[in-house]
Amino acid sequence: MNTTAYSTAAGTGILELEVQSSLQLASQPAFWWQSVLGVVGFEAPPPLAQARIPVTASMTPSLGAHDLCEVWRVTAPGTHLSSGESAQGRLRYRWSKDLLFGSMITTEQAGARSEAETLLQTTEAAYREIFDVLNKTGHGHLIRIWNYLPRINGHACGDERYRHFNSARQTAFRKSGRATMGTVPAASALGSPDGSPISIYFLAARGAPRMIENPRQTSAYHYPRKFGRHSPIFSRACLWGETGGGTLFVSGTASIVGHETIHPGDVVAQTRETMVNITALLAEANRIVGEPRYSPQGLTLKVYVRNPSDLPAVETTLSQLLCRPAGIVYLQADICREDLLVEIEAVG
């Protein structure tokens, strides 16, 4: 595991993702912190004395170094950042004129309701809170969102919790008057260990992004009903900040062709198929920008492995396919279809 600092120049000099250890973070100078939009730890939020900066975690255990964090920074000269929190106080955010990072950790408060109702209400309320903030600050375009919920493949009231989550997410988009297909954010949705809170974090922008679909895959918002009454709301990838060079956000990507899982039970074949899907998305992004800007080597990857014992096979497979990616983090997470063993997201 590479524990040295690396960054994907998100091309632009505007938005940068860096993966650093919390030790490295602790030694960063004040001027550097001024450019930080938000920090995301993996198994737990890193201990940082930065009151104005949203600090969160996906709650997914790391399969490599244990104190790594994602740092989202705005590096355009002269950028001024401001911080805030939602009226309910659960959502913390920080923004520049162009971009906003926000994060929320929320628990499912059982009360008198059923587990399904609780999950539906918690999810819908979380998204409502996010949309309220975006309406208030004017960062109207949700470009990338990460969703982590405990027991994602568990059942509640006769349906999978991921499917309840999809219903609530779709309801929230509809009620806020937002599109439920086409211009929807890039996303990931993964399972955290039983007992974890729901963790959601996101990037939003004032200017419109460009959404990218994968020619090899059915758009998720058009999945057939056998995958749930309400389709997942996400785009396969999203391109933001094109005038400055452009950051490409690749959504969680798995071994799905059309709408079907392929290679069930074969983690090596799933890893290869996932990289074929990501390569197809990069080609699509390059076609849209009209030049060969994005390549697998330029990506910072986050790899979610369902069974920790599959890690060596996934690592070996990826090292054969990618000579020198900008960075790879391996995490343990359940994936939102029971037959998927690996999922990969990327920033380029």
Q: Which residues are designated catalytic?
A: 343
Which is nearest to 41 in space by CA: 74, 19, 63? 19
214-233 residues near ligand 3EB, rule: CB under 6 A: 220, 232
* Other C-beta atoms lying within 10 Å of the C-beta of residue 208: 11
- What is the three-class DSSP state of 99? strand
Which is nearest to 47 in space by CA: 34, 38, 56, 58? 56
CB of 237 to ligand 3EB, least distance (A): 10
Distance in angstroms (rounded) separating the CA atoms of residues 281 and 212? 7
| DSSP labels, 234-301 | -BSEEEE-GGGT-EEEEEEE-SEEBTEE-STT-HHHHHHHHHHHHHHHHHHHHHHHTS----GGG-EE
Which is nearest to 63 in space by CA: 80, 43, 48? 43
Under rule CB under 6 A, residue 298 binds ligand 3EB? no
Of the candidate spans 78-86, 120-128, 203-211, 246-254, the one that interacts with ligand 3EB by CB under 6 A turns out to be: 246-254
Under rule CB under 6 A, residue 60 binds ligand 3EB? no
**Which tokens is 83 given?**
């911080």
Among 91, 120, 336, 347, binds ligand 3EB (CB under 6 A): 336
Of the candidate spans 5-13, 56-64, 250-258, 304-312, the one that interacts with ligand 3EB by CB under 6 A turns out to be: 250-258
CB of 342 to ligand 3EB, least distance (A): 11
Among 189, 278, 285, 328, binds ligand 3EB (CB under 6 A): 189
Under rule CB under 6 A, residue 251 binds ligand 3EB? yes
Of the candidate spans 28-36, 48-56, 93-101, 187-195, the one that interacts with ligand 3EB by CB under 6 A turns out to be: 187-195
Which is nearest to 219 in space by CA: 233, 203, 202, 230? 233
CB of 165 to ligand 3EB, least distance (A): 8
Residues near ligand 3EB (CB under 6 A) = 147, 187-189, 220, 232, 234, 251-252, 254, 256, 336
